[in-house]
Amino acid sequence: MRHFAFIALTISMFMNLCACNHHDDKRPITFSELPHSSQTFVETYFSDKQVSAIFRESHGENEYEVLFSDGAQIEFTSKGDWDEVKDRDEDGVPTGFLPTAMANYVATNYPGVNIIEVNKERSKFEVELNNGVELVFDKNGNFLRYDD
pTM for the model stands at 0.79
pLDDT at position 1: 53
Question: What range defines the domain where residue 103 resides?
Answer: 87-148
pLDDT at position 2: 53
| Interatomic CA distance for residues 111 and 4, integer angstroms | 61
- Give 42's contacts (C-beta < 8 A, 6+ positions apart): 31, 34, 51, 66, 74
Q: How many domains does the chain have?
A: 2
Residues 70 and 105 in one domain: no
pLDDT at position 24: 59
Q: Is residue 112 part of a domain?
A: yes
| pLDDT tens digits in sequence order for the chain, 148 residues long | 554 444 443 444 444 444 444 455 889 999 999 999 999 999 999 999 999 999 999 877 789 999 999 999 999 999 999 999 999 888 899 999 999 999 999 999 999 999 999 999 999 999 999 999 999 999 999 999 998 7
Q: Is residue 3 part of a domain?
A: no
At 51, which helix (H) or strand (E)? strand 51-59
Residues 67 and 106 in one domain: no
Residues 143 and 110 in one domain: yes
Residues 72 and 92 in one domain: no
Domain holding 52: CATH number? Answer: 3.40.1420.30
Q: Is residue 1 part of a domain?
A: no
